[in-house]
Amino acid sequence: MSENIGGKWTLDITDLRSGITEANRLIRVADSEFKAAAAGMGDWTKNADGLTAKIKSLNTIVDVQEQKVSALKQEYAQVASEKGANSKAAQDLEVKINNETASLNKNKLELEKTQSALNNFGNETVDTAKKQEELKDKTEKLTEKVNDFAKKALVAVTAYIVTGK
């Protein structure tokens, strides 16, 4: 049913229950892979590798959840046509669809925020490099001024010693 955690997979709705079980297992595996990768990073939100790992995990989770919602909707359509939209089975599926959709939307929002954080992280790195370059330039100019002053002071002190004035 699945090639690997990071790749695409499809949910076989012929056995919805086992398909949902496998989807939930894939979500747990993707989440645990992220936790393992982030464990040694400290605050992963301040690390490009941590943000990238979270994005990979969320992409996998979102893909799996989209498949779950799609499979549940297909199952709902089948149950609603066989037993009616007001049947207990159809309403139970509708609740599952709503809950899975809410979870999917939450993860999509988190993915969007994490991608934005990674983009900002790159921008902050560029800004920091620019500020470091500006500081370096200012330090070099200040060093030149100090050296010029020191030379003038040395000439003045030497002249005073030689001439006594």
Among 59, 37, 42, residue whose Cα is nearest residue 114:
59
Contact 75, 16 (CB under 8 A): yes
Token look-up 């992280």 returns 121
pLDDT at 82 (0 to 100):
93
Contact 111, 55 (CB under 8 A): yes
| CA-to-CA dists, residue 83 to 68, 76, 95, 101, angstroms | 22, 10, 16, 23
Which residues fall within 8 angstroms of residue 59, CB to CB, at 6 or more apart?
111
Poorest-pLDDT segment among 19-23, 66-70, 79-83: 19-23
Q: What's the gap between Cα 7 and its chain centre? A: 18
Query: Each residue of 96-105: pLDDT tens digit?
Result: 999 999 999 9
Composition of the chain by helix, strand, coil, percent to 5: 85, 0, 15
pLDDT at 19 (0 to 100):
82
Residues of the chain with pLDDT > 70, as a percent, come to: 68
The structure tokens listed for 130 are 């620019």
**Concatenated DSSP letters for 57-72?**
HHHHHHHHHHHHHHHH
pLDDT at 164 (0 to 100):
65
pTM given for the model:
0.65
Contact 11, 67 (CB under 8 A): yes
| Residue 76, pLDDT above cutoff 90 | yes
pLDDT at 59 (0 to 100):
94
Query: Each residue of 13-33: pLDDT tens digit?
Result: 567 788 888 888 988 998 898
- Output 74 or 141, whichever has higher pLDDT: 74
Per-residue pLDDT, averaged over 40-66, amounts to 90
Per-residue pLDDT, averaged over 133-140, amounts to 67
